[in-house]
Amino acid sequence: MLIRMTKTIQTRFALPAAIALALFAGSAIASPEDNTSQRAIVVAGAAAYDKAALTQAHAVAEATDADLKVVKRNAEQLGVVHMLAVRGYDTVVTVGVDRPSAIAPVAEKYPRVRFVAAKANGLGAAMSGA
């Protein structure tokens, strides 16, 4: 009897908690941030593990007031690029991001977003031309 009551109580609290969590998480992802910078840098692939590339990306992001996203998992590249397009970024400069699987689908859906592929040592030039 005690076990049945415990499961009932867990079920009654679990469903509203799950709904609230889903709404909160969804609003955090979908809501636009107060981003005065409309440019972002995404570092992924091998560059996400390269100390020199990360140092360069941090320096350029700070100097240009761009947001920096470092993606360690290949499976997350599409999500990060899509999130930036949804949030209204004009230009996304990428280093090591897989174009066919992460950029092409987003570029097709958000043609107003400019995607620039760069090498880590060419980030400064890519950002100044962006």
Per-residue pLDDT of the chain (130 residues), as tens digits, is 555 555 555 555 555 555 555 555 544 444 445 545 489 999 999 999 999 999 999 999 999 999 999 999 988 999 999 999 999 999 999 999 999 999 999 999 999 999 999 988 888 788 877 6
CB 74 within 8 A of CB 103: no
How far apart are alpha carbons 124 and 130 in whole angstroms?
10
Buried b (16+ CB within 10 A) or exposed e, 27-62: eeeeeeeeeeebbbbbbbbebbebeebbebbeebbe
Say what the pLDDT of residue 71 is. Answer: 96
How far apart are alpha carbons 104 and 108 in whole angstroms?
6
